[in-house]
Amino acid sequence: MTHLGARLLRVDKGVCEVALPYSDKVTQQQGGFHGGAMGALADIAGGYAALTHCEEGMEVVTVEYKVNFLAAFQQGELVATGRVLKAGKRIIVTSAEVQHVAADGTRRDCAVMQQTLVPVPMTYTAA
Amino acid sequence: MTHLGARLLRVDKGVCEVALPYSDKVTQQQGGFHGGAMGALADIAGGYAALTHCEEGMEVVTVEYKVNFLAAFQQGELVATGRVLKAGKRIIVTSAEVQHVAADGTRRDCAVMQQTLVPVPMTYTAA
Amino acid sequence: MTHLGARLLRVDKGVCEVALPYSDKVTQQQGGFHGGAMGALADIAGGYAALTHCEEGMEVVTVEYKVNFLAAFQQGELVATGRVLKAGKRIIVTSAEVQHVAADGTRRDCAVMQQTLVPVPMTYTAA
Amino acid sequence: MTHLGARLLRVDKGVCEVALPYSDKVTQQQGGFHGGAMGALADIAGGYAALTHCEEGMEVVTVEYKVNFLAAFQQGELVATGRVLKAGKRIIVTSAEVQHVAADGTRRDCAVMQQTLVPVPMTYTAA
């Protein structure tokens, strides 16, 4: 998502905010933010929120997510806020709200997501 | 998605296939295809399949989708096949299967999606 | 659901609360509330909440819902609170939280749902 | 669900069929099968299918499911067919198709579901 211009705004225990600015990389045929981009952004916000509940040496893998789109927006940027609803040993459940933030700061609901993740041992090595 | 290298393989009545080649634009921290990219690909395959059931002057908007990830893959490409399950006046329901196709042609299941769309009048104009 | 003992606690504009007492009609093999019963309860709470946004002569039909289970409980009762997130002409989107209420009044999160409905003209007649 | 008249039709490795006859216990305001009952039936079919992939001493717990309703039916019965899409150590993913079977044997699509489960050690004891 860094490739698409996404940036991390905030990470606290169980909460994460990620922003995605408007660009032609994330829009659909009518010029609004693409649903797939919104889903991906929500997926990331939920995933980072889940990560804050992992023990050292563990990371998270998304099992599934479901996203409902509430409205279409152009310009400005999207802010997705992921929150941990349940942090179990086997399963982590999160939700995310995606809001559109206009140039003048107006915030409006854009999408909502529910997500399931599993904590797994890190498989890659810091060389 | 064209931006990410996606290309349309096939569009028949009620069916659509879209491919997404492996690149650093669509991968996550462990080097596999990113879940968000898989979800977006499935969303598009389902959307195009739905479009084949629309009357002239209509297009579709994604209301929601839900995607389960079955396995992680590197290299090769993803092929998402969207199919219309129900084409109603108010609601179109689709499913999509995402498979990984390795360099040697081996196909393996990667993700499954269920999606809801609504047919709406086209709002943009061909200038 | 009346058959299973469900009762309406509250209906306000955009919000609805429904309760389901513990009984052997709504439990699974380990003695906890059955997931299907929790899903059905959440479906109903969301549906009634959506109904409060319908014009006269209209009702709602559930297009789809997705429910995540957070914890299993025995005894007491479940209370599902449905809320309208978007009330459009074509689509209504709701969420519902299901909590378990123990005999001593303790409330704990049990399940969360996202739901899509369509408003449709009433088809049945009050004879 | 036995309480609602559900019965097991078939259990093979990775597949399970469950039937639910029409009755006033499983209908909604317009006289069709209730969405919550269809969801619960699909949940059960997927769960039993998942169970066939568990080792001895293990059972499954539903993490989440998502169901799309395709059409409403009265009379006859519903048959839900659950299938395992992925049987992992940490996660089992299933889908289910719900069909309506009319008195004359006509089958029509009714609902589709995607479901996530986790295998867990059996916690109850056969006294």
Average pLDDT over residues D41-62: 95
pLDDT given for residue A26 in this prediction: 78
* Chains in contact with A, where contact requires at least 3 CB pairs less than 8 Å apart: B, C, D
- Tell me which of A41, A62, A98 to substitute to probe the interface with B (most B C-beta atoms closer than 10 Å): A62
pLDDT given for residue D42 in this prediction: 96
Structure confidence by residue, pLDDT tens digits, B54-97: 989 999 999 999 999 999 999 999 999 999 999 999 999 999 99
- Tell me which of B65, B86, B118 to substitute to probe the interface with C (most C C-beta atoms closer than 10 Å): B118
For residue B16, pLDDT over 90 is answered with: yes
Q: Is residue B126 part of a domain?
A: no
Shortest distance, CA D39 to any CA of chain C (angstroms): 6
Structure confidence by residue, pLDDT tens digits, A35-84: 888 999 999 999 999 999 998 999 999 999 999 999 999 999 999 999 99
Contact A90 D116 (CB under 8 A): no
Q: DSSP secondary-structure letter at C55? A: P
For residue D113, pLDDT over 60 is answered with: yes
Which comes out higher in pLDDT, residue A127 or A19?
A: A19
Q: Is residue D51 part of a domain?
A: yes
pLDDT given for residue A127 in this prediction: 45
Q: Are A19 and A7 in contact (CB under 8 A)?
A: yes
Shortest distance, CA D86 to any CA of chain B (angstroms): 6
pLDDT given for residue D124 in this prediction: 57
Cα separations (Å) of C81 from A23, A72, C94, D43? 38, 27, 10, 22
Q: Is residue C1 part of a domain?
A: no
Q: Phi and psi (nearest 5°) for A26?
A: -125, 25
Average pLDDT over residues B95-119: 97
- Domain hosting D19: range is 7-121
From chain D, the residues in CB contact with A63 under 8 A are 63, 91, 93, 116
Q: Is residue D126 part of a domain?
A: no
D77 three-state secondary structure: strand
Question: Domain count of chain A?
Answer: 1
Contact B66 D70 (CB under 8 A): no
From chain C, the residues in CB contact with A71 under 8 A are 86
Q: Which candidate, C73, D104, A111, places its Cα nearest to that of B63?
A: A111
pLDDT given for residue A37 in this prediction: 86
Q: Are D74 and D123 in contact (CB under 8 A)?
A: no
Contact C68 A112 (CB under 8 A): no
**Across the interface, which of B1, B44, B64 has its CB nearest the CB of A67?**
B64
Strand order of the β-sheet with C58-69 is C7-12, C15-21, C77-87, C92-101, C107-121, C58-69, D58-69, D107-121, D92-101, D77-87, D15-21, D7-12
Distance of CA C35 to the CA centre of its chain: 13
Q: Is residue D43 part of a domain?
A: yes
pLDDT given for residue A124 in this prediction: 56
Which comes out higher in pLDDT, residue A127 or B102?
A: B102
Structure confidence by residue, pLDDT tens digits, D117-126: 999 998 755 4
pLDDT given for residue C88 in this prediction: 95
d(CA A81, CA A112): 10
Contact B86 D93 (CB under 8 A): no
pLDDT given for residue B1 in this prediction: 67
d(CA C73, CA C71): 7
Contact A29 B59 (CB under 8 A): yes
For residue B122, pLDDT over 80 is answered with: yes
From chain B, the residues in CB contact with A35 under 8 A are 40, 43, 62, 65
Contact D90 A118 (CB under 8 A): yes
Of A19-23, B111-115, D48-52, the range with the lowest mean pLDDT is A19-23
Residues facing A84 on adjacent strands: A94
pLDDT given for residue A23 in this prediction: 84
Shortest distance, CA B19 to any CA of chain C (angstroms): 28
Q: Is residue A89 part of a domain?
A: yes
From chain B, the residues in CB contact with D85 under 8 A are 68, 70, 109, 112
From chain C, the residues in CB contact with B86 under 8 A are none
Q: Which candidate, A39, A47, A61, A58, places its Cα nearest to that of A16?
A: A47
pLDDT given for residue D1 in this prediction: 67
Average pLDDT over residues A93-104: 97
Which ipTM score applies to this complex? 0.91
Shortest CA distance from A112: residue in chain B? B64
Contact residues, chain D to chain C, C-beta under 8 Å: 1, 3, 24-25, 29-31, 34-37, 39-41, 43-44, 59, 61-69, 72, 123-124
**Across the interface, which of A66, A116, A120 has its CB nearest the CB of D63?**
A116
Q: What's the pTM?
A: 0.93
From chain A, the residues in CB contact with D116 under 8 A are 63-64, 116
From chain A, the residues in CB contact with C112 under 8 A are 85, 93, 95, 114
Average per-residue pLDDT for chain D:
91
Structure confidence by residue, pLDDT tens digits, C27-72: 777 788 888 889 999 999 999 999 999 989 999 999 999 999 999 9
Of B8-17, B67-76, D31-40, D62-71, the range with the lowest mean pLDDT is D31-40
pLDDT given for residue B124 in this prediction: 57
Confidence of residue D127 (pLDDT cuts 50, 70, 90): very low
Q: Is residue C2 part of a domain?
A: no
Kindly provide the b/e burial profile for residues D13-44, where b requires at least 16 CB atoms within 10 angstroms of the residue's own CB.
ebbbbbbbebeebbebeeebbbbbbbbbbbbb
CATH number at residue B116: 3.10.129.10
Confidence of residue D37 (pLDDT cuts 50, 70, 90): confident
Contact D112 B85 (CB under 8 A): yes
Contact A36 B31 (CB under 8 A): no
